[in-house]
Structure 1
Amino acid sequence: MTYKYRFLQKTALIILLPPLASNFFGCIRSPLRTVNQEGVYEYRSLHSSDGIGKFYIGREIAKVMEHSEMLWLERLDRQRQERPDLAMNSVENLQPVLGTATHPNLPVSSLVLGLRVDAHHEFEWPREMMERAVQSLKPDGRVVWVEYRGENPLIPLTGLHKMTKKQVKQEMAAVGLPWRSTDNGLPNQDLMVFFRANALANLNFVKE
């Protein structure tokens, strides 16, 4: 009986091994990285649980924050911790415009200033969004970028929901917006200014 039992165990193993081996070697054959035809985005099967597996200029695009993060977003001490009023106190006459995942739907050459606040790291198509945002700028237009500091590990956000100044500059340069200056007055965020080559640099920000 003992010999027969061991034989059945070995038989079962022989039956189970081929599909297991097939799946295993199939995983090895499948590419871990692919690049889209335009060479703009890279897709990786091994990636952060906070990201979507899509990479742009070396940065993984973050998942959009969902309703489960609402309590953190609307926490009572956010005003004291982040001082959003310092960045938004001069913003007025707002008019909502519904965009898409690839287009902000703003009229061409209509904006003097585009303000981007803690959003770009979640855009699924960041190159396309910024290229069309640049088209919406007037010849002397500029983009002001407010983003959590990726260099600061003490800010209570996962890495993909923050961006370093170096990364921001690279992504803006890719769409033809050179960096002009940075304001470091916000507690947790950088306020960076980018402008078209012929824009006047008349904002009084602290340069790096």
Structure 2
Amino acid sequence: MNKLFLLLIITLPIFSIAQQTAEKEVYTYKTGNPNGTGKWYMGREIAYGMGFQGMTWLERPEREKEENTSKLLKNMDLKPGDTIADIRAGSGYHVFKMSPTVKNGFVYAVDIQDEMLAVIDQRMEESQIDNVSTIKGSEKSVNLPENSINKALMVDVYHEFSFPIEMIASIKKALKPNGKIYLIEYRAEDASVPIKEIHKMSEKQAVKEFKAAGFKLESNAINLPWQHCMVFVKQ
């Protein structure tokens, strides 16, 4: 038998086993924060996501004061014609603030919970909004077409992704070449921010994870009361 053929027979299974082992080691599991999932990525414990039962908190009247959401949208430099994806859009709090600004553009409201998407659909129908579309995502994908968006917004949700590697890969695929990710996370560096530590994230940690996914930090606005406003672009 050809020696090269024998070598291939021997090495291919070994390579396959090594690849499977590497994939398993990307995420590790150990006891951590009581509010965490026990699943870790790059030294960070992944937090539990908020269910649709917490929808009223997303729409709380004091949110503008606490987070200065108007300033956040100014940071995004929204323009008519933009195509934006609000990832894990929840009840659509930011979606319906962005849709009038982009005018002839489009906003995709992506979420994994049917209850959240139903609320957005109902509001779209009641207000006769025609530049918003709901998308049912999954834990591993935003389920958007390739090169379909020029801006992606994630507000206090990335730290809850069960599969951050897969999710960022799917967003990267959906982004146009010059597209940007706006990552909004409560500042872990600031102990005065009244949010549980498991639901905060530092700039250093975000940069580490996004660099691994092929992104670089373009800027981080410091004009929000509690949150980072990090802008990532493709390497």
User: C-alpha distance in 1, partners of 2:170/2:53?
Assistant: 31
Structure 1's 40 and 151: CA in aligned 2 closer, same or farther, altered over 3 A?
A: same
Structure 1's 99 and 67: CA in aligned 2 closer, same or farther, altered over 3 A?
A: closer
User: C-alpha distance in 2, partners of 1:148/1:71?
Assistant: 19
Aligned counterpart, 1:40: 26
Alignment size in residue pairs: 162
The structure with the largest helix share of the pair is 2
Displacement of 1:71: 5.5
RMSD: 2.0
User: C-alpha distance in 2, partners of 1:118/1:106?
Assistant: 20
Matches within 5 A, 1:12-23: none
Matches within 5 A, 1:34-113: 37-38=22-23, 39-44=25-30, 46-66=31-51, 69=54, 72-88=57-73, 90=78, 91-92=98-99, 93-94=106-107, 95-113=133-151
Matches within 5 A, 1:1-208: 37-38=22-23, 39-44=25-30, 46-66=31-51, 69=54, 72-88=57-73, 90=78, 91-92=98-99, 93-94=106-107, 95-197=133-235
Structure 1's 68 and 96: CA in aligned 2 closer, same or farther, altered over 3 A?
A: closer
Instruction: Please report the TM-score for the alignment, with normalisation by the length of structure 1.
Output: 0.72
Structure 2 counterpart of 1:42, one-letter code: T
Displacement of 1:65: 2.4
Q: Secondary structure at the match of 1:180?
A: strand
Structure 2 counterpart of 1:83, one-letter code: N
Q: Secondary structure at the match of 2:176?
A: strand
User: C-alpha distance in 2, partners of 1:143/1:193?
Assistant: 6
Displacement of 1:134: 0.5
Gaps of 5+ in 1: 1-35, 198-208
Q: Secondary structure at the match of 1:138?
A: strand
Offset from partner CA, 1:81-128 (integer Å, 9 cap, x none): 211122236422322211101010011111211111111011110110
Instruction: Please report the TM-score for the alignment, with normalisation by the length of structure 2.
Output: 0.64
Aligned counterpart, 2:85: none
Structure 1's 109 and 73: CA in aligned 2 closer, same or farther, altered over 3 A?
A: closer
User: C-alpha distance in 1, partners of 2:177/2:165?
Assistant: 20
Identical aligned pairs, as a percentage? 37
